[in-house]
Every structure is written in structure tokens, then in C-alpha cells.
Amino acid sequence: MSGAAARPAGSPGHRCPAMQRGAAALALALLAVLPCCRAHAKPQPHGARDQGNMNVLFIIADDLRTSLGCYGDPLVKSPNIDQLASKSIVFKNAFAQQALCGPSRTSFLTSRRPDTTRLFDHNSYWRTHAGNYTTLPQYLKMNSFVTLSVGKVFHPGIVSNHTDDYPYSWSIPPFHPSTQKYKNAKVCKGPDGKRYANLVCPVDVKEMPEQTLPDIQSTEEAIRLLKKIKSTGNPFFLAVGYHKPHIPLKYPEEFLKLYPLEEIHLAPDPKVPSKLPPVAYNPWTDVRSRDDVRALNISFPYGPIPDDFQVLIRQSYLAAISYMDTQVGRLLNALEEQGLANNTIVVFTSDHGWSLGEHGEWAKYSNFDVATRVPLMFYVPGLTAAFPLPKQRVFPFINPFTGKVGNLPRGSMVESNVELVELFPMVCQLLGLPLPPPCPKPSFHVELCTEGEGMADLWNQGATSVANDESFVFTQYPRPADSPQPNSDLPLLDDIRIMGYSIRSNDYRFTEWVSYNPSTFTANLTDIHAGELYLHMSDPGQDNNLYNNLEFAALVRKLSALIKV
């Protein structure tokens, strides 16, 4: 199963030198905390135990944007994740490579970009479709780690060969909660007392099938594995993937109490921007398919959701975050109770974000920051946080209803732009393992490499200032046509005709939508269908498209050239 095909001409699968500095920012930020580290050496700062004996707990939320207290959202009750952040390095501007579950997860678990995995939908397995790429858990398994998967880690189905890439990536078959099969079942109680398959779905857990919910089951299984694995003698990599706040917004109904309706407001920019190219618009077709939204009879594609229902969606999204946060809190508390908090690295992130009415959009499926920006934090015991004193708690569970929610000490916040494709090599660096080499161009035939370029060399060079550096990150999204279609959000590979390539810097987001040939996996970067340019200083919501503004013509030419490198 080797992907020996050549890189399609015109597909920007590797970053230009300016984009490499986004990877550099991640390495350099951690250098500030790991001053003694060298590539291929086990980091041993003064007072810290050998990182080579560290375990890894990798927690992945689903469709979680940066709506967390530790990211400055005053409304969200996320005390357990905030507590983790207070002991971690937190990356303020981390970005997924595509705002869709399967492509994003495959990308960061293989350290390859979607153009290299050739996965833009949910209908192919990279090992047979592109190349036999080594995954992060597979690499750790090759280095004597016991690797375990609970919940949604790889996207299920064809994307991971219907096995979650077992036995390549995992020591034992992955665990999936039995109640996940009821994901879209008619279990949501309507005003008439009947059951529906709704978008907004607060529930009485005791009335649910099996009297539980998927994320509760995943937490219970992860805790069981922690108790069992600690006695094996091998380091472990435990990946726990939570399903929330992915839709349907199904969560225990008591979490609604945390978010009174009078405190919930519309998005600051709830209307479709006048200069937004039609190809860039996400018509949120999966949201439209839910029973409660379908009953609103909203016109396709630009008809707005009524304001009162927008508020209900936003309320339930936040409630789902708090529900997921309690599961994270239970898991971290168990990690400590098993005596593992002092020798386990904890990584927390999400596969992508989610639009909550910004630009008149809902769901993901775009290149906007709200869809691509994700939380990312690394807890490294003894490095990002001091080893606790005797009887001092590391991760006590915080009840969002009764516990201390705000005013936690803030962790180290890094503002530089970074990418999820950097996760694989960064975990290796923290563990002191040999780094995957940079991918050549093309790399379809190379099993182990990283498209997170520039990290290893910069690690060896030592810390240098990146304060004035222009770091870029790279995202992309496919479309079937220039105008919104019923399949615009989730086009199958054969239906893709346009690819939106986007770069994000400290100052702007720039996107060009270009012709794409799915038969040859080739983008024609000179055939530009539409473009977007947003300046963050004056337009943080990315609402005023300046691509066709003559005042910015020189900047557009410069950024267009960067995409073509």
C-alpha cells in the first residue's frame, strides 16, 4: 500500500518559507519552557523527571471552537478545561487544516495536509487512497508505547478503514460507546411531548437508550483503562475523543441552567456579508436537516434562522461545551487519583471550530477563523507546571454548578499562529523520541515524515525572538460550484470543482478559490474563481472582504504569490 504517485502540479501541499515560521513559533514557544531540550534527546530540565518515561493523554473535542473561559469567553462555564489550561502552555491561535472531521483528524494524526492525504470528504482511507502514512499512535506503538483509543479519535467509517486504523495505530481494538448508534435517533422531546431528531436536544439521561450518553460512556471506559494500564510497566498513549459539542446538541438538560436565555445574544455579525463570494458561503445543510430546523421552513441558501431560534442554538452549544467539560474534569481527576498526573503529558484540542451564526452561517465547512481556529494546550508535568507538593491536588474535579468557575491562574498563552499538523512532531519532541523527518516533495511514497516543516532545525538552533515574525498557517476547503448547492458543505471527491486555499497571519486572512480536478488531484492556481481578504486589526470578525479593493491590490498580488509557492 504505497502512494508512489507524484505531487499534482499546482497543489500547495507544502508551505513557503514564510509559512514554515508558523511551525517555528510552536517549537520556539515550547523552548521557553524546555530550555534544556535538544532534538532526539530526552528533555530533562532541572527538577523534572525523565520525559522518556512520560505517558500521553490526548483529549480531542469535536467541533469545539475557542469558546472557553481560558480563551477569554466570559460566558462559557468550562472550569475543568480552564484548570488544565492554568497548568499548560495554551496556544491562542491554533488552526486545523480543514474544517471537517475526517480530513482534519487524518491530517493531524498523520502530520500530512489534506492535499497529501487526498481526503477532503469522508469516503476514502489514506493508506490505500494516497500513501501508507505512519500515524502518531502507530509511531508511539513502534516505540514501545501501549496505544489506546476511546470514543471518536479517527473519524469512523471508510476514513479509517472501519477499524479506526487498527491494528496499525492501536494495541487493542478501539472503544466506541454503544449509545453512539442513537446519535440521530428521535429522542428529543418536543413541546407536544413527542420525540424528534432535533438540533437542539437537552435530555433527561434516565430516559435515553441505555440510560446514558456516549461521552459519559467514553469517560467511564477511559477511567477503566487508566486503572488497568498503570500496572503494565509500559508508557501509554491514551486518546480520548469526545463527541460534543458536535450536533445534534444533545446533553443532560440540567446544563441549560448555566446559561439563562436572557444572557444569550446573537452573533455580532449574524447577516451574510455583502461582499462574501457565493462560493465561500456555508449553507449549513446538516443543520437544515434536523426536525426542529426543518419545521422553520427556511429558504435555501441564504434564508436566516429566526432570531429566537438562533439564541436557542447558541445556548445549547454552550451547554454542550459545559457537559463535555465535566467529562474532561472526571477524566483528569481519575488520572490524578491513579497517581499518573506527574508522569503524563496531557494534550487538549479539537478537530475544528463551528460557526454560531457568524456571517449568517452555522456548522463548520469554511475557511473562516470561527471554523478553523481551535483550542490547543499542552500540560507537561514539571515543565509547564511544577510538581505538586505532598497532598496538593493537580486536577481536582470542578463542578460547574457549585465549584469555582472563574479566576483560575492563567497558563502560558502563546499568540503565534500554529497548525494542528504540528501535533505529531511536537509530541515526539516532548517525549524525547526521534523526530519524523521533513516530508520531501512529493511524499506519497514516504511512510514516516512530517509536513510540519522547520521544527527540528529550529529546535536545535535555540530560542530566538519571533515577536516581529510574520507567521502563516494554511487551511483549505472544497466546493462543488461557484454558488451554494445542497452538497456545498460536504461535496464528494468526484463532485469537487473548486478548492479554497487560505493563509492566516497575524494581520489578515487571505483566501483564493481556484479550479480543482478531482480525477488528477490537481489545483489550477491561476484559474481564480473568487478571493477574500480580511484585515484583523479593523475587521476581527472577517466581514469586510477587501479582495477587490484597489487600495489593497499590491497586497493581494503578494499573498496570491504565497499561495502559489
Give catalytic residue positions: 101, 155
Q: What is the DSSP letter of 331?
A: H
Rounded to an integer, what distance in angstroms lies between the CA atom of residue 262 and that of residue 311? Answer: 9
CB 367 within 8 A of CB 98: no
Q: What is the DSSP letter of 309?
A: H
Rounded to an integer, what distance in angstroms lies between the CA atom of residue 352 and that of residue 376? Answer: 11
Cβ neighbour number for residue 493 with a 10 Å cutoff: 16
Q: Output the nine-digit C-alpha cell for 112.
A: 500530512
CB-hemisphere CA count at 13 Å for 548?
8
Burial classification of residue 506, based on how many CB atoms lie within 10 Å of its CB (0-12 exposed, 13-18 middle, 19 or more buried): middle
Q: Output the nine-digit C-alpha cell for 43.
A: 528533555
Quote the distance between the C-alpha of residue 303 and its chain's center.
Answer: 29
Rounded to an integer, what distance in angstroms lies between the CA atom of residue 529 and that of residue 476? Answer: 15
Which letter, b or e, does each residue of 394-427 get, where b requires 16 or more Cβ atoms within 10 Å of its Cβ?
A: bbebbebeeeebeebeebbbbebbbbbbbbbbbb
Interhelix angle 214-229/307-337, rounded to 10 degrees, is 10
φ, ψ for residue 139, nearest 5 deg? -65, -40
CB-hemisphere CA count at 13 Å for 52?
13
Q: How far is CA 122 from CA 87, 125, 126, 488, in A?
A: 36, 9, 11, 14
Residue 307 in 3-state DSSP? Answer: helix
Q: Where are the alpha helices (DSSP H) in 295-340?
A: 307-337
Residue from 22, 530, 20 nearest 278 by CA: 530
Cβ neighbour number for residue 289 with a 10 Å cutoff: 13
CB-hemisphere CA count at 13 Å for 166?
17
Burial classification of residue 17, based on how many CB atoms lie within 10 Å of its CB (0-12 exposed, 13-18 middle, 19 or more buried): exposed
First-to-last alpha carbon distance for the chain, in angstroms, is: 29
In 182-264 the beta strands, taken as DSSP E runs, fall at: 188-189, 195-196, 200-203, 236-241, 249-252
Residue from 526, 524, 521 nearest 131 by CA: 521
Q: Which residue has the cell 483528524?
A: 105
CB 563 within 8 A of CB 12: yes
List the Cα angle 160/165/167 in 5-degree steps.
Answer: 160
Q: How much is the CA Rg of the chain, to the nearest whole Å? A: 22
